[in-house]
Amino acid sequence: MSSAANLKRWPGWVLLFLVVACFLAYGTAKDAGPLTPEQRVEEITKHIACPVCDGETVYESANPASAAIRAEVKAQVAAGLRSDDEIVAYVVQQFGEQTQLLPKASGFDALVWMLPAAALVCAGVGLFFAFRRWKRNADAIPDDDDRAMVEKALAAEVNLDGS
């Protein structure tokens, strides 16, 4: 494929990337409006792990410990003195680190979550450049030196078979 054809093709990919990025940005930034207290309690308890159960959130669990946490969250929401993140931090402080379902966004926890993503991005970039180099080498047109080398190798092979 010629470089002129490549030049005509890349703006379409850039436009597609920009459209997808805009839709993703809109979808993640879209606000559904204010939540009712019951919806806030549901959302908060979906982000807290049951301290006794294995792999369940406080929202899903029927355990008495989870019921106590749900009651505490409901009381905190009803008081209206704390944000959702502050309520989750309070529950983690009162009931232990095992209730923290989502990792902290700072320090070592953030590093542990970011390293695989960074490795994936680096691998993707590396593959992109490797495929591009392989394609460029595959598209190379043999010159007179290449043809002479092949003829010499074929002649040497015939001489070995004929002797």
**10 or 43, higher pLDDT:** 43
Q: Are residues 95 and 108 in the same domain?
A: no
Q: Is 48 exposed, middle or buried (0-12, 13-18, 19+ CB in 10 A)?
A: buried
Q: Are residues 1 and 56 in the same domain?
A: no
Domains identified in the chain, total number: 3
Q: Are residues 111 and 132 in the same domain?
A: yes
Low-confidence winner among 3-12, 58-67, 127-136, 146-155 (lowest mean pLDDT): 3-12
DSSP string across the chain: --HHHHHHHHHHHHHHHHHHHHHHHHHHH----PPPHHHHHHHHHTTBB-SSSSS-BTTT--SHHHHHHHHHHHHHHHHT-S-HHHHHHHHHHHH-GGGB-SPPSSHHHHHHHHHHHHHHHHHHHHHHHHHHHHHHHHTPPP-HHHHHHHHHHHHHHHHHHH-
Q: Are residues 62 and 112 in the same domain?
A: no
Q: Are residues 16 and 70 in the same domain?
A: no
Tokens, residue 33: 């409006």
**105 or 135, higher pLDDT:** 135
Question: pLDDT of 73-131, one tens digit each?
Answer: 999 899 888 888 888 888 888 888 778 777 666 677 778 878 898 999 999 999 999 99
User: What domain range includes position 62?
Assistant: 37-99
**55 or 28, higher pLDDT:** 55
pLDDT in the model for residue 124: 93
Q: Are residues 71 and 20 in the same domain?
A: no
Task: Give the pLDDT band of residue 20 (cuts 50, 70, 90).
Answer: confident
Q: Are residues 108 and 158 in the same domain?
A: yes
Question: pLDDT of 24-42, one tens digit each?
Answer: 887 777 666 667 888 888 9
pTM for the model: 0.49
- CA-to-CA distance for 86 and 97, rounded, in angstroms? 15
Q: Are residues 59 and 5 in the same domain?
A: no
